[in-house]
Amino acid sequence: MSGERLQGQVFLVTGGGSGVGAAIAAACVGEGARVVIAGRDGAKLEAVRDALGDAVSPCVADVTDRDQVRALVEHAIASCGRIDVLVNNAGVNVVDRSLECLTPVNWDYMMGVNATGAFNVAREVLPHMRRQGRGLVIAISSMAGLRVGVVSGAAYSASKHAMAALTRSIDLEESAHGVRATVISPGEIDTPILEVRPEKVTDEHRARILRPEDVAAAVVYVASQPARVAIPELVIKPSGQKS
């Protein structure tokens, strides 16, 4: 059901071409927001825009490339006038994630996208939010960013811990400028990242875990709170998944 809880707000969502990012875009548009979606695959971004309409503005950008990130934020400001909410959602994992198999290349890849990528985008967006005197940064982290586990792997967990620490630091340091930050830490979600699990995920398992729309609903909830409300952390998990 569509509404107006986010009427007039402008969102920038990274990793917006599929999965959780696309679901966040859909949910925010449904609540009256305009959304700039970013990702590396232009065709996927265009497909999301075609599905959701002119309230969505796609922009190809790799969050690990600081020049592209700068151009992305400039595009968002030029096309929408401001950025009210940044959703750092871009995230990756790899098949060979155990320490026995983990390569320096894959370590750098995951840290680069999941942690440094979040920093790159926040670093470009925060000056605009400071000038506005308001803003919200939401990180789509993971329960792997709260505690380590064999399934997630060392690099993914380390990168999500770093992403969460960055976001909590934003909430602490930028509150003086009217900027809030929230870490959303989901449990297992049925998204394309499951395709790089070391072991195939069964249909029965997929049926029990979160959907991208569940995470999108959490984003809408956080973003619809008044400026006096800060939500430093929100954990959502499939019913029955261990905390």
In order of their start, the domains of the chain are 10-236 (3.40.50.720)
* Inter-residue contact 208 to 34 (CB < 8 Å): no
* Inter-residue contact 210 to 186 (CB < 8 Å): yes
Q: Percentage of the chain with pLDDT > 90?
A: 92
Average pLDDT over the chain reads 96
CA distance 182 to 116: 17
State the pLDDT at residue 243: 67
Query: Per DSSP, what are the bridge partners of residue 11?
Result: 35, 85
Question: What does each C-alpha distance from 56 to 46, 130, 142, 162, 229 come to in angstroms?
Answer: 9, 24, 26, 29, 27
| pLDDT 10s digits, 12-23 | 999 999 999 999
Which contiguous run of DSSP H or E holds residue 80? helix 66-80
State the pLDDT at residue 2: 61
Residue 58 has phi, psi (to 5 degrees) of: -85, 150
Residue 216 tokens, joined:
């999108």
Task: State the Cα angle at 201 between 200 and 207, rounded to 5°.
Answer: 165
Q: Percentage of the chain with pLDDT > 70?
A: 99
Residues of the chain with pLDDT under 70: 1-2, 243
Residue 27 tokens, joined:
């949910």
Residue 120 tokens, joined:
């790159």
Residue 130 has phi, psi (to 5 degrees) of: -60, -45
State the pLDDT at residue 1: 46
User: Catalytic site residues?
Assistant: 156
Query: Residues near 93 by Cβ (< 8 Å), separated by ≥ 6?
Result: 110, 152, 153, 156, 193, 196
Q: How many CB atoms lie within 10 A of CB 64?
A: 17
Alpha helices in 133-202 (DSSP H): 154-174
| pLDDT 10s digits, 37-49 | 999 999 999 999 9
pTM over 0.85: yes
